A and B are shown apart, each in its own frame.
Chain A
Amino acid sequence: MKKKKKSLLFFRNMAIVFVLIIFILTILNLLKKDQSFSESENRMLAEKPKFSVERLIQGKYTDNFETYINDQFIFRDLFVKIKTTTDYLLGKREENHVFLGKKGYLIENFTEPSSENMEANEKAILSFAKEQSEIKQYMLLSPTAISILDDYLPLFAKGNDQRGAITGFQTALEGSQIEMIDVEEALIENKEKGVFYKTDHHWTTFGAYTAFEEAAKVMNLQTETISYEANVVTYDFQGTLSAKSGFRTNEKEKMEVYLPKSGGVSYVVNYVEEQEKTTTLYNIEKLKVRDKYAMFLDGNHSQIKIQTTSESGERLLIFKDSYANSFIQFLLPYYREIVIVDPRYYYGDIRELIEEEQISQILYLYNANTFFEDNTLRTVIGS
């Protein structure tokens, strides 16, 4: 009899406890004000959806409402942490295509590109290269941590074949007007010194500099007279990969800026569409927000023109993704003008631009993860 009584007591308590939990959380949710931005996820959170009979019938209203409830749930960040911790305890070492690697590194996996995308990009670049054959053209397609730090991956993990994709692409460009800059060896040699961030998908400034030294050889840039000094601008950088994976959300690392000790030049940076000019490559304001990497060249812009006091007569056009942002400073001493175009936002006439600015060299500067997914470059250079 005692067993039965205990059992009944247990169920009575279950009822009380859970009715309380559900009702308390529901009331807290009703009282809580909606949040518009999530720091940890670096995105806008859903807001209350607009009602209309049309949307209701299409099922859109209910879908949006469900997203809204989830996004605005109280203690959301805590719940996300519980989820990722449970996953980790169960043995998961990969979340959203990001591996939790050794030595504190978060490593993003490579996505196998579709062959259509690859071919379309190859075609566009080769044809543009031929068209602009009077201009010296270079390409720096950098491998990312998934290739360089592959021995830091968790036990038995293997990334998708980024090296193969890069080699394949380089082969396709053989014999064309474009000279390839291969930075793989240099990055591997220096990997212990930290060429990639631990919580971000970008290379560190040191990594960018290592790649630059390789590029200088191919592009015939004299590096002897110029030296740099590394300066830490923050110890509080937390990159995109910890947001994407939910791992290591407390980890912070340092971000450096390389200032020329000798041989530097002065310059003016012109953000063309915004019609703003400044004399620094760095937007210090960005160090106050989460996305600190945007300090370099203020993040994403459709077009940037940099005029320098360099004695060289060369003018460089760069097609890029964000890897270039921390790399460009090393090119300043060698070019009178550098025009930077982000094909995602640029909608002008690139041929006109090349003529107007009298471009004498072109550089494609991408990381392999972004490059193979890209479908905007070919609309800009296409005919």
Chain B
Amino acid sequence: MIFSSIYFIFIFLPIVLLLYFLVPPIFKNTVLFISSIFFYAWGEPIYIVLMLFSIAFNFMMGVDIDNHREDKHYQKLNLIFTIIVDLFVLGFFKYYGFLLDTVNQLLHTNISYKQLALPIGISFYTFQTLSYVIDVYWGKVKAQRNIINFGLYVSMFPQLIAGPIVKYIDIEKQLKNRKITIVTIGQGMEYFIKGLAKKVLLANNIGALATEISSLSASNTSSLTAVLGVVAYSMQIYFDFSGYSDMAIGLGKMFGFTFMKNFDYPYVSKSITEFWRRWHISLGSWFREYVYIPLGGNRVGTKKHIRNIFIVWFATGLWHGASWNFVLWGLFFGVLLLFEKYFFLEKLQNLPSIVAHIYTLVCVNISWIFFQNTSLGQVGHVFKMLFGMGNGFVDIRTLYYIKTNFLLFLLCFLCCSPFLYRIFKKITVKNQYIGLIINIGLFIISAAYLVYDTYNPFLYFRF
């Protein structure tokens, strides 16, 4: 199930909200847990078994490790066992084909395999169970002894499919004790509508342009068109992902959970270092906590530090997808971060901020080229188009795209900075009816786009 759909907003959500508020407090978590299972099973009627397995297994292991506080050796063994099983499951579904493809290419073998579908959200919930079990081992947190509460932590529908990745410590207390008032529900609604509008009105529409441009032949792609395509894609991925995170945070809030924000206007960053403090915050935080710091972080010698950075960014890239272009994307950032740290971060801060902004945006947009295109050939093609080897610098199609998408691009750019939201906040303080009307408007228009999803007038080309 996805949030940006009619059946979620007008069937699933009202039913769950109703049940949740009618039921006495001891059963509230159960209601949420069962709803989340239903939510997941709706889209994955077979892989729900896998998720239930993951819940049962990690629950059991968490309790086991917690029960053996005196026996460090036992704890370590079982931690490793748990991590291996969790990563094995993730690896099997996500990376098996990739691994075999690479082996086949390198060794010129022809091992065949059956491509299984990727279970939705597996990268997210696996990282959550890992964070839990590692935190229990470190003694940072006590094992959760109530399987419903634990199951809820793993499968909670607001953040199950696309994050934010919630660490168990951040939510432990909230599982037992959370305050829901009409104000928190309203806040949740506001977040949800903001995210919905970002996804449906901005991301989907600018994404349609990005898709169209990426499928143009070389003879139809001018240099400027290619630039529009790359920028459109960076807008799409930002509003899509941050929109979804906003919806997740909003939904969490409606049920009394406070998740940390996942995006903090990353495109206003003045350096790549800053960018990664504002983009996909929960993932960066996870890798720092469970990979970077345990490896020594930056408190070791330069050589080891560089090694740590490479490991983390290799893994970050790989986490996004089972393909070498994602690794390239990750390492690209790793290298830039090292350069900034060791060479020019200070110099950057002394330059006029416009230069820093441009530098950051150019690097980030280039990184999306690696992210969007799975083969080196496609990446090369995009660069060729950017340098005018397609249809010159500008052509009539470029003008057409600019003319028909101008307002959309403008809106996207404005929404990349907190500027518009601050104005909105000022207005609602002065006159809350305007704020309400704007939200209602955004909601209705978003709903309109969602209803249109199945608009399919009888294709009569065969008349």
A: which residues have CB within 8 A of B? 3, 6-19, 21-23, 25-26, 29, 40-43, 46, 56-59, 62, 65-67, 69-71, 73, 76, 79-80, 82-83, 86-87, 89-94, 96, 154-158, 201, 240, 243-244, 246, 300, 321-322, 344, 369-370, 373-374
Would you list the 8 A-B pairs with minimal beta carbon distance, nearest first? Answer: A11-B186, A15-B186, A14-B186, A156-B400, A82-B448, A322-B463, A79-B451, A15-B185
Q: Considering only CB atoms and an 8 Å cut-off, how many residues of chain B contact the other chain?
A: 61
B436 touches A14 (CB 8 A): yes
Query: Is the Cβ of A10 less than 8 Å from the Cβ of B428?
Result: yes
Within 8 A of A (CB), among B396-433: 396-397, 399-400, 403-408, 428-429, 432
Please tell me if the beta carbons of B461 and A370 are within 8 angstroms of each other in the complex.
yes
Is B10 touching A94 in the complex (CB atoms < 8 A)? no
Question: Does B457 contact A240, Cβ atoms closer than 8 Å?
Answer: yes
Measured CB to CB, the nearest residue on chain B to A98 is B457
The answer to whether A14 touches B451 (Cβ under 8 A) is no
Which B residues are within 8 Å of any A CB, using their own CB? 5-7, 9-11, 13-14, 17, 42-43, 45-46, 182-187, 189-190, 193, 201, 205, 396-397, 399-400, 403-408, 428-429, 432, 435-436, 439-440, 443-445, 447-463
Which B residues are CB-close (under 8 A) to A16? 182, 186
Q: Please name all residues of chain A whose beta carbon is closer than 8 Å to the beta carbon of B190 when the two chains form the complex.
A: 11, 14
List chain A residues, Cβ under 8 A from B452.
Answer: 79-80, 83
* Residue in B205, B400, B440, B450 whose beta carbon sits within 8 Å of that of A157 in the complex: B400
A43 adjacent to B456 (CB under 8 Å): yes
- A25 cross-chain contacts in B, Cβ below 8 A: 10
Residues of B contacting A154 in the complex (Cβ-Cβ under 8 angstroms): 400, 404
Q: Which residues of B contact A322 (CB under 8 A)?
A: 463
Instruction: Please report the C-alpha to C-alpha distance between residue A16 and residue B5 in the assembled complex, in whole angstroms.
Output: 22
Query: B45 to chain A: which residues have CB within 8 Å?
Result: 56-59, 62
Specify which chain A residues have a CB less than 8 angstroms from the CB of B450 in the assembled complex. 70
Q: Which residue of B lies closest to A153 (CB)?
A: B400
Chain B CB within 10 Å, residue with most, of A12, A29, A201, A344: A12
Besides the contacts A10-B432, A26-B11, A82-B444, what 18 more A-B pairs have beta carbons closer than 8 Å? Answer: A11-B184, A14-B190, A16-B186, A18-B193, A23-B14, A42-B458, A56-B45, A59-B43, A69-B7, A79-B448, A80-B452, A82-B448, A83-B455, A86-B449, A89-B407, A93-B404, A155-B403, A373-B462
Contact residue among B17, B400, B457 (Cβ-Cβ distance under 8 Å from A42)? B457
Provide the bound-state CA to CA distance between A90 and B206, in Å: 11
Whether B454 and A90, one on each chain, are in contact in the complex, defined by CB atoms closer than 8 angstroms, is no
Q: Report B-chain residues with C-beta under 8 Å of the C-beta of A93.
A: 404
C-alpha spacing A312/B326, complex, angstroms: 73
User: B448 touching A92 by the CB < 8 A rule?
Assistant: no
Residues of chain B within 8 A (CB-CB) of A66 are 5-7
Q: Is the CB of A321 within 8 A of B187?
A: no
Q: How many whole Å from B11's CB to the nearest CB in chain A?
A: 7
**For the complex, what is the distance from the CA of A154 to the CA of B183, rounded to whole Å?**
48
With A56-B45, A322-B463, A370-B462 known as contacts, the answer to whether A10 contacts B435 (CB < 8 A) is yes
Residue pairs across A and B with CB atoms within 8 Å: the count is: 176
Contacts of B461 in A (CB 8 A): 369-370, 373
Contact A26 B404 (CB under 8 A): no
State the Cβ distance, A266 to closest chain B Cβ, in Å. Answer: 28
Complexed CA–CA distance, A90 and B404 (Å): 7
**Given A9-B432, A18-B443: A201 and B460 interface contact (C-beta under 8 Å):** yes
CB distance from B69 to the nearest CB of A (A): 43
Distance between A183 CB and nearest chain B CB, rounded to angstroms: 19
Interface centre among A82, A156, A243 (most CB of B within 10 A): A156
Contact sample, A vs B, 27 pairs, CB 8 Å cutoff: A6-B429, A7-B429, A10-B432, A12-B183, A16-B182, A22-B9, A22-B10, A22-B14, A41-B455, A42-B457, A43-B456, A57-B45, A59-B43, A69-B10, A71-B454, A76-B451, A79-B447, A80-B455, A82-B444, A86-B201, A91-B404, A92-B404, A93-B404, A156-B403, A158-B397, A240-B458, A369-B461
Known: A15-B185, A62-B42. A158 touches B400 (CB 8 A): yes
Contact between B182 and A12 (Cβ–Cβ < 8 Å)? Answer: yes
Known: A22-B13, A57-B46. A41 touches B457 (CB 8 A): yes
- B46: shortest Cβ distance to chain A, in Å? 6
Q: Say whether, besides A7-B429, A86-B445, A370-B461, A46 and B186 are in contact (CB < 8 Å).
A: no
A156 in contact with B396 (CB, 8 Å): yes
Contact among A69, A89, A90 with B6 in the assembled complex (CB-CB below 8 Å): A69
CA distance A21 to B186 in the complex (A): 13
- In the complex, what distance in Å separates the CA atom of A189 from the CA atom of B146? 81
Cα distance, A89 to B408, chains bound together (Å)? 10
Query: Judging by beta carbons under 8 Å apart, are A91 and B432 in contact?
Result: no
Do residues A90 and B448 form an inter-chain contact, with CB atoms below 8 A?
no
A373: B residues at CB distance < 8 A: 461-462
User: Which listed residue (A15, A22, A62, A80) contacts B183, Cβ 8 A?
Assistant: A15
Are A6 and B458 neighbours in the complex by a CB distance under 8 Å? no
Cβ–Cβ contact B9 & A62, under 8 A: no
Nearest-neighbor residue (CB-CB) of A65 within chain B = B7
Contact A8 B183 (CB under 8 A): yes
Task: Quote the shortest CB–CB distance from B358 to chain A (angstroms).
Answer: 27
Docked Cα-Cα span, A122 to B450, in Å, equals 43
Q: How far is the CB of A298 from chain B (nearest CB, A)?
A: 13
- Bound-state CA distance A365–B163 (Å) is 57
A202→B367 CA distance, assembly (Å): 47
Of the candidates A17, A89, A90, the one whose C-beta lies within 8 Å of that of B436 is A17
Closest to B401 in A: A156
Chain B hits for A18, CB < 8 A: 186, 189, 193, 439, 443
Complex: chain A residue closest to B2, CB-CB: A66
Residues of A within 8 A of B458 (CB): 41-43, 240, 243
- Residues in B with CB closer than 8 Å to A40 are 457
**A66 nearest CB across to chain B (Å):** 5
Given A10-B432, A82-B448, A156-B396, A300:B463 Cβ within 8 A: yes
Distance in Å: Cβ of B307 to nearest Cβ of chain A: 44
Choose among A23, A91, A344, A369 the residue that contacts B403 (Cβ–Cβ < 8 A).
A91
Q: How far is the CA of A41 from the CA of B457 in the complex (A)?
A: 4
Q: Which residue of A lies closest to B445 (CB)?
A: A86
Using Cβ atoms and an 8 Å threshold, which residues of chain B touch A10? 186, 428-429, 432, 435-436
Residues of B within 8 A of A46 (CB): 454
Whose C-beta in chain A lies nearest to the C-beta of B408? Answer: A90
The answer, among A91, A201, A246, for a CB contact under 8 Å with B407, is A91
Q: How far is the CA of A154 from the CA of B402 in the complex (A)?
A: 13
A26–B463 Cα gap in the complex (Å)? Answer: 38
Shortest distance from the beta carbon of B436 to any chain A beta carbon, whole Å: 6
Q: Within the complex, what minimum Cβ distance (angstroms) separates A353 from chain B?
A: 22
Distance between Cα atoms of A158 and B457 in the complex (Å):
24
Within the complex, the shortest CB–CB distance from B409 to chain A, in Å, comes to 10
